[in-house]
Amino acid sequence: MLTAYTSDQIRAAERALMALLPEGTLMRRAASALAVACVNVLPRVYGSRVVLLVGSGDNGGDALYAGALLARRGARVHAVLAGRRTHEGGLAELRRAGGRTVEAKDGDPGADRELAGLVERADVVVDGLVGIGGTGALREPYAALARMTARAPGVVVAVDVPSGVDASTGEVAGEAVAAHLTVTFGGVKAGLLIDPGASRVGTLHPVDIGLGPHLPDPEVVALTGADVAARLPRPGAESDKYRRGVVGVVAGSDRFTGAAVLTVGGAVRAGAGLVRFASAAEPVAQVRARWPEAVTKVITPEEGVGDVGRVQAWVLGPGMGTGDEAHALARSVLASDVPVLVDADGLTVVSRDRTLLRRDAPTLITPHTGELGRLLGVAPADIETRRLHYAEHAARELGVTVLLKGSTTLVAEEGRPVRVNVTGTPWLATGGTGDVLAGIAGAFLAGGLSCYDAASCAAYLHGLAGRLAAGDPRGGEAPIAALDVALEIPAAVRALTARA
C-alpha cells in the first residue's frame, strides 16, 4: 500500500529524526538523491546547463547542495535566487563548486528576459522555490518563474513538491510549476496524488531519507494491485451463486435504457453470483437481450422492490430519472436493510431529499463533482479545486462512504484514511463508464466487501479495465466505449490475480 502524508506529519517526523543526527545530515541526503535524479535525466553531465530556482526554504538549500554536486561533475550551474534570504551553507557550497548566481528582481523587465533566457537554454531546471510548507497562490517573483518553466524545453525537476501545489491537499491556488519529475523525500505527500496538484507532478520519485520509523498513520493511501487482489471476492469449492453474492440493480427507464445495460454488465463481468434487475418494461427488455444471465422483473414505483427477491446489496440510480416515480423507487430501495450504492440520477433524487440517506445499513455514494455539489450545496468548481476537503466533508456530513469520481478518484469514509485511486486513463471520460463502475462496486458489496473496500477495489479495477480497453500508450491508444470497459473486467481481474 502506498502511504501519503500531510506536510505537518512530514515536518514532525523530520524534527524527530534530526534530533538524532548531526546537523545538516537530512539535507545532504536529500541533495544527493536530487543530484542523482538530475544525472539520470541528462544525456551527459559534463557541459550540461542546469538552472536552479532557489527560494527561501530548505528545499532551496536542497537545490543548492545538489547543484554543487552537479557543478563538481562539470555541469554549468546557475542559481536564480528568488527568496528574501538564501540558505547560506548551500549557497557557499555552490559557489565553491564553481556555480554562478543571479538575482530574481520582481518587476524588472530586463532581469526577467535574462532569467527567461537562462531557463530556456537549460537542459534541467530544478524547482526549489517553495517546499511542503507553501500554501496559497505563489507571489512574485515566484509566480513569474513558475510561468517560465512552462516554456522550458529542458526537464523540469521539482524538489519535494512542485511550487504552487499544496503538499497536503493537492490544491492549486494560482500559478504552479508543472514538473516532468518530482523527487520527494521521506514520504509521499498527499497532495502529490490528488488533482489538480497531481497533474503537475510528472513522474513521482520517492526517496527514503530515514523518516519511516517516525512517520504516523497516514491520512491518505493508495491501494496497489496486490492490495486489490487480496481483497477481491473469490469463489471457493463450496460456493454457489447465492453465496457469491446477489446484487439488485434498479436503473434505467423508458428514456434511458443504456444505463441499465451498462450497470448490469459491470456487475455481471465483475463476478456477481446473480444479478436481479428491476425497472420499467423497456430497460428490462434491453437487459434480457444483452445479459441473459440476469434475473429481470418489471416493477412500478407504487409496488417498489419488495417482490424482486432477496439481495445482498443494491445499486440504485443510473438512468432511472429524477421525478416523483424515481423518488418512490429510491425510497423503496433505501428502506432495505442491506448496503446500497447510490449513483447518477439516484444522487439527484437524494440531493432533494437527504432524509433518504438516514438509514442503519451501509450506504455508498458515487458522485462526480456536479452531483456532490448538489448534495452539499457547493459549486462544482469549488469541489474540483478542493477534492480532498469535500470528499471528507461529505462523508462526515452525510454519514456515508463517498467515491468521488474524476481525474483523481477518492474514496472517503469517516475515521479512515482517504484512498486515492492510481489507475485509469483519460479515455474513460466518456458516457456510461460511471454506470459500469457502479455495477462493479455493487457486485463487490454483494460479495461481502465493506463500502470502503468495495469502492476502492472497484475504482482500481475499473481504471485497469479502461487501460486495457484503450491499449498501451507506447503501442498506440484508441477511443473506448463504456461497454468496452465492462468486457475487459475479467482480463483486469486476471492481470491482478496473476501477479498476487
289 is in an annotated binding site: no
* Spatial separation of the C-alpha atoms in residues 102 and 340, rounded to whole Å: 61
163 is in an annotated binding site: yes
Write out the E strands in 41-94.
Answer: 49-54, 76-81
| 179 three-state secondary structure | coil
- Residue 412 phi/psi, 5-degree rounding, is -120, 135
* Spatial separation of the C-alpha atoms in residues 324 and 280, rounded to whole Å: 15
59 is in an annotated binding site: yes
421 is in an annotated binding site: no
DSSP symbols for 404-473: E-SSS-EEE-TTSPEEE-----GGG-STTHHHHHHHHHHHHHHTT--HHHHHHHHHHHHHHHHHHHH--T
66 is in an annotated binding site: no
Helices 345-352 and 324-334: angle between axes, nearest 10 degrees: 90
407 is in an annotated binding site: yes
11-to-36, 168, 172, 209, 421 alpha-carbon distances in Å: 24, 12, 21, 13, 25
133 is in an annotated binding site: yes
| 163 three-state secondary structure | coil
Tell me which amino acid residue 339 is. Answer: P
Closest by Cα among 420, 391, 421 to 5: 420
The answer to whether 306 touches 324, Cβ cutoff 8 Å, is no
366 is in an annotated binding site: no
406 is in an annotated binding site: yes
The answer to whether 160 touches 46, Cβ cutoff 8 Å, is no
25 is in an annotated binding site: no
430 is in an annotated binding site: no
Give CA angle at 178 (379, 197), nearest 5°.
35
135 is in an annotated binding site: yes
319 is in an annotated binding site: yes
317 is in an annotated binding site: no
160 is in an annotated binding site: yes
* Spatial separation of the C-alpha atoms in residues 442 and 259, rounded to whole Å: 14
60 is in an annotated binding site: yes
The answer to whether 305 touches 332, Cβ cutoff 8 Å, is yes
195 is in an annotated binding site: no
* Spatial separation of the C-alpha atoms in residues 267 and 21, rounded to whole Å: 54
442 is in an annotated binding site: no
106 is in an annotated binding site: no
Known binding-site positions for (6S)-NADPHX: 58-62, 131-137, 142, 160, 259, 319, 368, 435
Residues within the annotated binding site? 58-62, 127, 131-137, 142, 160, 163, 259, 319, 368, 405-409, 434-435
| Residue ranges of the binding site for AMP | 405-409, 434
Q: Which residues are annotated as a binding site for K(+)?
A: 59, 127, 163
